[in-house]
Amino acid sequence: MKRVITYGTFDVLHFGHINLLKRAKALGDYLIVALSSDEFNLIKNKKSYYTYEQRKSILEACRYVDLVIPENNWEQKIDDVKKYQADVFVMGDDWKGKFDFLKDYCEVIYLPRTPEVSSTQTRSYLKSGNEGI
């Protein structure tokens, strides 16, 4: 079984997230998502619209995701790759090169982001009072 791991906040889930999860899952048989905890988001100066538990529940409902684990700090990635026996580490290409240190433990792949969509853009749109397309 080929295991893939990815990391993120996955707040206000949108089709860009789904595309990333679908492409990540296609690289293996089992997809693990390390989801930023609320406490870790505070360290990163991020505030999610949804709580960790709500975001976790949404991700667990996604057919591409097999397991959701908490991301509590930047340093846990090597331990996670070892603990969950990940063969592939996947991130969006805006992080290109930042996680190359994991190449000693698994394959590292940076996937292109879905153009014209972002969580920041989605939150801004929702705050503006718009209700959808």
- Residues marked active site are found at 44, 46
| Amino acid in position 78 | I
Phi/psi for 8 (5° steps) reads 170, 175
Would strands 88-92 and 107-111 be described as parallel, antiparallel, or unpaired?
Answer: parallel
CA distance readout (Å), 92 to 19, 59, 89, 115, 119: 11, 17, 11, 12, 13
| Residue 95 buriedness (CB in 10 A; 0-12 / 13-18 / 19+) | middle
